[in-house]
Amino acid sequence: MRCQHVLVAGSDGPATVPREGELCGRCLREKLADLEDIRAAAARELEEVQGRAERITEIERGRDALLASYEALAPEELDDLTPEEHHDFYRTLRAVIYAYL
C-alpha cells in the first residue's frame, strides 16, 4: 500500500511524495490505531476463550466428583439391582462393559 499524502518538508529537503512502502505520519497513526483495535479485540476474544476453558475445567471436576460418588455407591448398591437396573445404571454412566471369557 502506498501513502498518497505529501510528506511535509523537513530540515533535510523539500516536501515529497512517499516512495513505495513509506507512510506519512497520519497514515502511520491510522494504521497503528487499526492495529490497536485488532489487538484489543483479540485480547477480548482470548479472555472469553480462557473463561470458557475455566468453565469446562469446573464441569469436568464436577463430572469426576459425580463419578467418584457413583463409584463409592456402586459396590454396595449394585448387588441389589436387577439385571435390567444394572443395564440402566451403566447406560446412564455411558459405561462400556467388556466380558472376557
pLDDT for the residue numbered 4: 62
pLDDT for the residue numbered 44: 97
Q: Is residue 10 part of a domain?
A: no
pLDDT at residue 7 above 80?
Answer: no
Q: Is residue 5 part of a domain?
A: no
Cα distance between residue 94 and residue 99, in whole Å: 16
Q: Is residue 68 part of a domain?
A: yes
Cα distance between residue 21 and residue 93, in whole Å: 62
Q: How far is CA 6 from CA 3, 9, 11, 28, 87, in A?
A: 8, 9, 15, 13, 80
Q: What is the pTM of this model?
A: 0.48
Q: Is residue 46 part of a domain?
A: yes
Cα distance between residue 21 and residue 8, in whole Å: 17
Q: Read off the pLDDT band of 18 (50, 70, 90).
A: low
The domain of 79 spans: 25-93
Residue percentage of the chain with pLDDT more than 90: 29
Our count of domains for the chain comes to 1
Chain Cα centroid distance, residue 49: 3
Q: What is the CA radius of gyration of the chain?
A: 33
